[in-house]
Structure 1
Amino acid sequence: MGFLQQLSTLLFLSTMAFCMGNDDDPSFKLNDDVLGLIVFKSGIKDPSSYLDSWNEDDSSPCSWRFVQCNPSNGRVSEISLAGLGLSGKIGKGLQKLQYLKVLSLSHNDFNGSIDELGSIFTSLQSLNLSHNGFSGKIPNFFVMGSMKSLDLSGNLLTGPIPVGFFQTCSSLESLSLADNSLQGPLPTTLSRCSNLNNLNLSKNQFSGTVEYLGSMNKLQTLDLSYNSFSGTIPEKAMAAIDDLKELHLQVNHFTGPIPDSITSLKNSISSIDLSNNMFTGDFPQWIGTLSNLEHLDFSTNSLTGNLPPSMGNLKALKLLKLSNNKVEGNIPPSLASCSQLSAIDLRDNDFNGSIPSGLFQLQSLQDLDISRNSLQGNINVGMGAFAKIKYLNLSWNNLRSRIPPEIGLFQNLTVLDLRNNGLLGDIPGDLCEAGNLGVLQLDGNSLTGPIPDEIGNCSSLYLLSLSHNNISGSIPKSMSKLRMLKILKLEYNELSGEIPHELGFLGNLLAVNVSYNRLTGRLPAGGIFPSLGQSSLKGNLGLCSPLLNGPCKMNTPKPLFLDPDLYNNQMGDHRRRNDSSSTTRFDHHMFFSVSAIIAISAAVLIVSGVIIISLLNVSARRRQAMVEAALESMCSSSTRSGSLPTGKLILFDPKLSPVGVDNPEVFLEKESEIGEGVFGSVYKVSLGAQGRIVAFKKLVTSKIIEYPDDFDREVRVLSKARHPNLIALEGYYWTPHCQLLVTEYAPNGNLQTRLHERLSSTPALSWSERFKIILGTAKGLAHLHHSFRPPIIHYNMKPSNILLDEKSNPKISDFGLARLLTKLEKHVINNRFQSALGYVAPELACQSLRVNEKCDIYGFGVLILELVTGRRPVEYGEDNVVILSDHVRISLEQGNVLDCVDRSMADYPEDEVLPVLKLALVCTSQIPSSRPSMTEVVQILQVIKTPIPHQMEIF
């Protein structure tokens, strides 16, 4: 007798015995617990055999791992299976566990709907299903009974919260629905959960107002962040919540002033985050009364007014973030009394006056950013030599003082940014006394004197930028000790003499600019110097380079005579430009964050359309049937038999509906087909009441997942990969013989067409456009690799899979489709990826098929080379075959790599193109472990474009 048959018989006998026996007989009830858990176990996968001790022959499960029993009745009371790598559906076996109080299945891979759970766990007090793959809508009547804690966060739940969900929540103390795709306004029945202590609805798509909060007056933690809530925060609601400790409303659409009623929380509140909203009005003067406040973040709003002196009363404050507002006046000196402060971010405001010297004496302070204000006066670090500060940014102010040498004693300082302040005097020789400084930016000041020889002590420097000053003298040989240096910017100074040939041994240098100085002689023979372009060298009338016009001045006893007027006239305009840059707050040198350019919402794809009134009278059910019939016909080429199985169109966005399809036959028209990729044909279709354009991709492979539930689970996982540089997955259609994916539509086609198949009337891509595509693609891949566990691997990086939206922003398509294959076999790679010739990583040809993120990085490196050179990855001539990566690598070794750059680009910055090419060659290394991660790639690209370190995310 097989196990399942035996189990079925046992269940039948147990049911009969239970119906006929005495309820007080414990033998039957103990058997119920065993049977229920064995049925539950039989329906799931346990790859690590954690549940091996669960044996159907045991009379009691109380000795099993992860199971606890109530000693008074011997019944199962708690099951904790968190983080065991289990998968599958929960099933109905747990219905037998009538005395179960605590169930935790978090951090596994369970899937399916939670519809059945509402009636199963009426006796539960704690249910944790977080961080799984549960999908679908929340059931209308989820029987909570005596439930005190419910956690459904980190799943794939969609739709609005039904009104009936909170009908029986009077016992609920903790509720988390965070990190799903729930939407719509919150039902007013939420107010029935009057005993809630913790409410977390963050990272969803909820909207509407929050007037009902006052009825939950026992709240201690409220997190509504990363949604679309709007309106004002009601004064009465805040006043009614007496014991609130944490308030997180960041990244919503709240408006109006910050309510004064928050002062009623002065004895309890420890954390307030209202950042990235639209709050207005003056900065609240009562903030100093919140004596227990530890974290305060009002950044990115429209607050005005001054900071009150009472800020010094916040003795427990550890983080203060007020950036991107319109706050003015002085930074109150009393802020130095907040001795626990570890991070202060006041950048992008209108503060004036001097910097309180006491800030540098805060022994806990690690990050201080007061850049982009109107601060004046001296930089007085006082006794701050022993401070723990790591990040110090005072740039873009009017601090016309000397650089205090005491900064060099800051033992932990890694980033020092003093750009564009009008600083005077010499660069202190002991600025790197502590030896940990990684970034030193002194651009756009009025510094004079030489670069000190002690600069060689800055052994951790990877970015040194001294441009747009009046620095004189020679470049010290000691700079050759900076083995970590990647970026060196010395342009627009008065440096003279030869560039020390020892700098050619700095193998990590990615970019160097010494333009507009008085340098002479030959360039160093090694490193990056033989590849420097004209833009990095011009303005030095004595440098010896074939790229420069003018005399070559060698180091001879008698100097060559240069026309001083010629030199001074050439430099004059640039000096005047330099002088103005140090006094003007915002000019063309000001740094704008690359992420601010990329962060364009995908919502601009929605196009308003006029809906024909007669369509409103058409039956939605009939329209659905017509659409699905058309989809079945589309799939007819994939089906051998004459009879077509019926499928169902699933759309994740409720705004998308087949009811909005004017003509279902559009699915069948040849004109709707807009392309064909590795996995199948692509069709353009209008869906929804507003006529939103989407793309249908028909999958054509025999290795697609066979079961609809498994297919649904994998597609929903991919649908959670939302990023400005990824094509969004909107739904699917499934039958056993045909599968379609519904995705976001990109109106500007793909990069392959734009780069290699453009019409003569279409202008070539500029360097800025190409760099935007490179950086955006890198960010999208980094999101796939580092935001999911296991990471989502693309397997097929190439230009045809990089789509362009209406503003030519790159969007990666076809990512993760290999997850829909039952096996990633070698013949699948050969048959399906042969169109990616030249992009496929060499390790994919090995028998072991060790596929990981490094394969994508290889393809990305080839894509960079293709964008910079304009050539295909493999080109066939009459007598030879040219492999693009090998060609560029050889050209770099021979010193003529810039000859590889696409000639259709009229102008391009050599100091950006060259390091980008070097990065591409690193990405295409034959050894996978030598390739960088995509996070590292993004960081390098950001440094190349604008050499400033990414703002620390400690705030």
Structure 2
Amino acid sequence: MARLKETLLTLVWLVNKSQIQDQELQVLLKLRQSWQDPSSLDHWVASNSSSHCAWPEIKCQEGLITELNLVNLNINYSIPLFICDLKNLTKLNLSYNNIPGEFPTVLYNCSKLVYLDLSQNYFEGLIPSDIDRMADLQALILAANSFSFDVPASVARLRRLRILHLYMSEYNGTYHEEIFGLSNLEELSLGYNDKFVPSQLPQNFTALKKLRFFSMPQMNLFGRILETVSDMEALEHLDLGKNPLTGEIPGSIFALRNLSELYVYKTNVSGSIPQAVSAANLSVIDLSLNNLMGNIPEVFGQLKNLYSSNLEFNQLSGGIPEHVASLPALSDIRLSNNNISGTIPLDFGKFSPLRRFEVAFNNLTGAFPEQLCHGGTLFGLAAMDNNLSGELPGSLGNCSTLLLVMLNNNGFTGNVPAGLWMSRNLTALLLSGNGLTGELPKELSPKLNRIEMSNNKFFGKIPSMMSSWRNLVVFDASNNLLSGTVPAELTVLPSLTTLLLGQNKLSGNLPTDIVSWKSLTTLDLSHNKISGPIPSKIGLLPVLTQLDLSDNQLSGLIPPEFGQLNLNRLNLSSNRLSGPIPAILENAAYDVSFLNNLGLCASNSFMRINVCSTQSRRSSKTNLTLIVILAIAAAMCVLLVVLFMIRASRKNRDWFDSTPKLTPFQSLNFTESNILSGLKEPNVIGSGGSGKVYRIVVNPSGHTVAVKRILNNRKLDEKLEKQFVAEVEILGNIKHLHIVKLLCSISCENSKLLVYDYMENSSLDHWLHKKNRLSPVSGVSNNMILDWPKRLQIALGAAKGLCYMHNEFKEKIADFGLARMLAKPGEAVSMTVVAGSFGSLAPVNEKIDVYSFEIVLSELTTGREAHDGNEDMGLAEWAYFHFDQGKPISDVIDEEIRDNSSLDQISNVFKLGIFCTAKLPSTRPTMKEVVQMLLKCSDPHYDVEKKFQHNLDAAPLLGNSK
């Protein structure tokens, strides 16, 4: 009878179990449906052939579901309430998905849940204050979401927690110290939440006796690390990096018996490395980016389990302990950027499989270890900027695992090991600044993209087989003893951006058929013996910005194609060139680019070479009578000029209340009196909040200048006066094709004049906007239309000018502010654009310039004026809202350039302008990036929007948010 009863109970249990299994299957199918049937769950279908317990995301015990591991399945929808109908669910892992919303309190109904991982999703808002309702939780992993505000005290009431990961969210409040009273914790990770209110390390954190993993980097922690850290008996991993901690590293840390990993990098910890390290069983030490001083302790050589040691970026001195090189587990040794001296122990690599060996930027001397790659695992080698000497170890030629070799700026001699050039994984080889010799190899590693070997003694010809160097991006072999010609095969390298072969013994003609240099930005062949004509196709290289062919024997004309280049630097001096300089290159930016070419001439004297003339020279015999007549006439002219200047000076005394001071920045053919006499209302061509702009003819030859007059009714204090003088001097020294030239300044106590070259083509506003198409000088109507290619060149030229300002002068110019410093207190300031200059010469900073440049791009693409958005907003905001509402860009393109063949280009430029006004200045492109994107916009497959996809939600700047 008892056996029958037992059998009946078993049957009932089996029936119930079958029913539960069916119910669980239906929950899973319903779950898939609620998540819109993601393709990653296509195999979740009812089947008679197998149980759902066999699905890879499911784990069962006795046929019932206990675990759901739904990791990285591209789930985009919230967690439904019925998920807790899986009554036996103990573990739920939904990490690495796209689940939105607040913390899913529906999980409170999963009564048996002990493990919950919601990391790497899009949860936001508060962690609920009643989260302790999940009382059985042993693991709570909420990292890498957008939870904000405080970590609630209720987390500390989850008394069974063993794992708590809350790192990398948006918390901007506090965390409760009660968390450090969770006595069962084995892992605690709160790091990378730098918006937490600054706090000290809690006094009670060392009471966590079971804690193995403790991570609180980048948490705004300050104060000292407690000596009682040694009380944490189980601790294996300690990370307190990227905090403003102070004081010395407690020696008790190194006495932790189980500690295998220590990170206190990027803190303000100072002092020396304690000798107590000898008691540790450490396998990883990272003390980088501190202010540690003193020697590396000899006891480091006793850490038999040490496989990674990072002490870089400190102030350590003395030598490298000899026994460190013999540690059997050592794989990663980084000592760069210290003051370490002496020799490198020669046993490095002999007894352990080294992977990284970095000792750069120290004072090391002597030979290099021979057996660094003995274990066949070395991939990173950096020893640049030391005083190492001798030959490079031959074993490096057999080290096929090398990725990066940086040995530049030492005293190495002899040949480069032959196999090193061909090391199959090598990507960069930096050997510059040594005494190395030998010939260049005929073949290179297929992955090698950067070779720097300048300032050595390499000799022989550049191999004609170098067409096999297909992936080379940078090749710098300048200042060597290379001879022969520049081989035509060099010109077919498609990825080359930088080619530096200056200061060698190259000769012969340059290749004329430049096939593949589409990416070349820098070409330097200076100080060689190259002869023949300059190939015209150099002028067709699309992105070339720096060209130096100086100190050669080049002859013939400068190719007219050079006028199509947009060069930041050009040097053709000291050759045998002849004929006129292309008109577009007659620019102050290139005034020293053509020196010592006796046959060259220019139409302007400021180019510092002969002025071109089409008239034959007269006989050397001169009529004496004519000389006398001319002398008398000249004397009369001088007298008239003097009288005129006196009169003009008197007439303009009302402009200045003290003697004006002229500061020249170029060779001038006028005086301050010529300028002062032209400060008349009929000569005004523009105005702004700081003053007016005048067009003035300064001499009988018709030379015309633009004068910006900055008015002020208060005397500058000494500091501002010095700042004004210093900044104007910088402006005066700028020489660039796309920046108008400042000729001089004239100043007194209450007024300043800035004298620029006058640009005959007037301002962009004059040409672009229909209602302004009257010449500001003659009043004659102008019917010329700026087509799209011209507008694109204007944008590119302006961008290059700003890029030059930012990159060349960024360390000298933080804020020109000339008009701003002269303005009256409380007075609004606007900088007037000098006619023809197209762009402000006074950037407040790069990101504001980028914002302002958006207006230029919007004007060029829409034809509207800067203030012409609508009645509520300016052009920048109007352009953004048009784009944000998804309206067609073609609707706002200027009808005069609305050509189907250019619509993609114009749309790209319009969108580039939108991204220049991103809400966060840090997310706007740099002017260098703007230049690059303008160059690419003619590519029909290029879409600027893809580059800034992550910024599409960034609104334009409004009000004072700049």
- In the superposition, the TM-score normalised over structure 1's length comes to 0.54
Structure 1 position 165, deviation (Å): 2.7
Within 5 Å, give how 1:443-842 maps onto structure 2: 443-447=432-436, 449=437, 451-454=438-441, 456-525=443-512, 526-527=514-515, 536-544=524-532, 546=534, 548=549, 552=553, 764-767=801-804, 769=806, 806-808=845-847, 831-832=888-889
Counterpart code for 2:164: L
For each residue in 1:227-251, what CA deviation from the matched residue of structure 2 results, as whole angstroms up to 9, or x when unmatched?
3222222121x12210111122222
Structure 2 CA distance, aligned partners of 1:389 and 1:343? 9
Structure 1 position 481, deviation (Å): 3.8
Contact 2:186 2:213 in 1 (8 A): yes
In the alignment, what sits opposite 1:612?
none
In structure 1, runs of 5+ residues without a counterpart are 1-24, 555-565, 568-752, 774-799, 814-825, 846-854, 868-904, 936-955
Q: 1:356 aligns with which of 345, 359, 370?
A: 345
Structure 1 residues 334, 844: closer, same or farther in 2, change over 3 A? Answer: farther
Structure 1 residues 805, 259: closer, same or farther in 2, change over 3 A? Answer: farther
Q: Partner of 2:553: helix, strand, or coil?
A: coil
Contact 1:149 1:173 in 2 (8 A): yes
Q: 2:221 aligns with which of 214, 217, 229?
A: 229
Q: Aligned pair 1:280/2:270, yes or no?
A: yes
Structure 1 CA distance, aligned partners of 2:400 and 2:139? 46
Q: Aligned pair 1:335/2:324, yes or no?
A: yes
Q: Partner of 1:296: helix, strand, or coil?
A: strand
Q: 2:248 aligns with which of 257, 262, 287?
A: 257
Structure 1 CA distance, aligned partners of 2:52 and 2:529? 87
Counterpart code for 2:268: M
In the alignment, what sits opposite 1:404?
393
In the alignment, what sits opposite 1:214?
206
Counterpart code for 2:255: S
Q: Aligned pair 1:148/2:138, yes or no?
A: yes
Q: 2:360 aligns with which of 334, 359, 371?
A: 371
Counterpart code for 2:802: L
Structure 1 position 93, deviation (Å): 3.1
Q: Partner of 1:256: helix, strand, or coil?
A: coil
Counterpart code for 1:521: G
Structure 2 CA distance, aligned partners of 1:393 and 1:155? 38
Q: 1:295 aligns with which of 284, 297, 314?
A: 284
Structure 1 position 182, deviation (Å): 1.8
Contact 1:470 1:494 in 2 (8 A): yes
Q: Aligned pair 1:325/2:314, yes or no?
A: yes
Structure 1 position 280, deviation (Å): 0.9
Structure 1 position 444, deviation (Å): 1.8
Query: Which segment drifts farther, 451-460 or 242-251?
Result: 451-460
Structure 1 CA distance, aligned partners of 2:910 and 2:809? 15
In the alignment, what sits opposite 1:6?
none
Structure 1 CA distance, aligned partners of 2:552 and 2:95? 73
In the alignment, what sits opposite 1:592?
none
Q: 2:305 aligns with which of 291, 302, 316?
A: 316
Contact 1:220 1:245 in 2 (8 A): yes
Structure 2 CA distance, aligned partners of 1:758 and 1:78? 59
Contact 2:440 2:461 in 1 (8 A): no
Contact 1:386 1:410 in 2 (8 A): no
Structure 2 CA distance, aligned partners of 1:356 and 1:423? 17
Structure 1 position 173, deviation (Å): 0.7
Q: Partner of 1:764: helix, strand, or coil?
A: helix
For each residue in 1:910-935, what CA deviation from the matched residue of structure 2 results, as whole angstroms up to 9, or x when unmatched?
xx99xx97x98789755689x99979
Q: Aligned pair 1:114/2:103, yes or no?
A: yes
In structure 2, runs of 5+ residues without a counterpart are 1-15, 535-547, 556-573, 576-790, 811-838, 855-882, 917-926, 949-962
Contact 2:251 2:275 in 1 (8 A): no
Contact 1:137 1:158 in 2 (8 A): yes
Structure 2 CA distance, aligned partners of 1:284 and 1:124? 46
Structure 1 residues 435, 86: closer, same or farther in 2, change over 3 A? Answer: closer
Counterpart code for 1:339: P
Structure 1 position 220, deviation (Å): 0.8
Structure 2 CA distance, aligned partners of 1:477 and 1:63? 62
Contact 2:510 2:530 in 1 (8 A): no
Structure 1 position 331, deviation (Å): 1.1
Structure 2 CA distance, aligned partners of 1:162 and 1:531? 55
Structure 1 residues 198, 923: closer, same or farther in 2, change over 3 A? Answer: farther
Structure 1 residues 933, 510: closer, same or farther in 2, change over 3 A? Answer: farther
Structure 1 residues 111, 210: closer, same or farther in 2, change over 3 A? Answer: same
Q: Partner of 2:299: helix, strand, or coil?
A: helix
Structure 1 residues 88, 455: closer, same or farther in 2, change over 3 A? Answer: same
Structure 1 CA distance, aligned partners of 2:243 and 2:45? 47
Within 5 Å, give how 1:157-236 maps onto structure 2: 157-166=147-156, 168-205=157-194, 206=196, 207-211=198-202, 212-236=204-228
For each residue in 1:778-821, what CA deviation from the matched residue of structure 2 results, as whole angstroms up to 9, or x when unmatched?
xxxxxxxxxxxxxxxxxxxxxx9xxx9955389999xxxxxxxx
Structure 1 position 550, deviation (Å): 6.1
Structure 2 CA distance, aligned partners of 1:861 and 1:320? 51
In the alignment, what sits opposite 1:681?
none
Structure 2 CA distance, aligned partners of 1:532 and 1:77? 61
- In the superposition, the TM-score normalised over structure 2's length comes to 0.54
Contact 1:251 1:276 in 2 (8 A): yes
Counterpart code for 1:275: Y
Structure 1 residues 99, 811: closer, same or farther in 2, change over 3 A? Answer: farther
In the alignment, what sits opposite 2:633?
none
Contact 1:46 1:87 in 2 (8 A): no
Contact 2:493 2:517 in 1 (8 A): no
Structure 2 CA distance, aligned partners of 1:505 and 1:52? 51
Contact 1:320 1:344 in 2 (8 A): yes
Higher relative contact order (CA 8 A, sep 6+): 1
Contact 2:348 2:369 in 1 (8 A): no
Structure 1 position 121, deviation (Å): 4.3
How many residue pairs end up in the alignment?
A: 606
Q: 2:77 aligns with which of 82, 88, 91?
A: 88
Structure 2 CA distance, aligned partners of 1:225 and 1:504? 50
Contact 2:528 2:552 in 1 (8 A): no
Structure 2 CA distance, aligned partners of 1:763 and 1:462? 28
For each residue in 1:44-70, what CA deviation from the matched residue of structure 2 results, as whole angstroms up to 9, or x when unmatched?
433338499689xxxx99899966666
Structure 1 residues 376, 861: closer, same or farther in 2, change over 3 A? Answer: farther
Counterpart code for 2:125: G
In the alignment, what sits opposite 1:423?
412
Contact 1:288 1:311 in 2 (8 A): yes
Within 5 Å, give how 1:915-930 maps onto structure 2: 926=940
Contact 1:361 1:387 in 2 (8 A): no
Q: Percent identity?
A: 26
In the alignment, what sits opposite 1:648?
none
Structure 1 residues 844, 215: closer, same or farther in 2, change over 3 A? Answer: farther
Structure 2 CA distance, aligned partners of 1:552 and 1:172? 79
Structure 1 CA distance, aligned partners of 2:76 and 2:372? 58
Contact 1:523 1:529 in 2 (8 A): no
For each residue in 1:163-209, what CA deviation from the matched residue of structure 2 results, as whole angstroms up to 9, or x when unmatched?
2331x222111111122212333202112311001112233233422
Structure 1 residues 251, 516: closer, same or farther in 2, change over 3 A? Answer: same
Structure 1 residues 544, 315: closer, same or farther in 2, change over 3 A? Answer: farther
Structure 2 CA distance, aligned partners of 1:246 and 1:276? 17
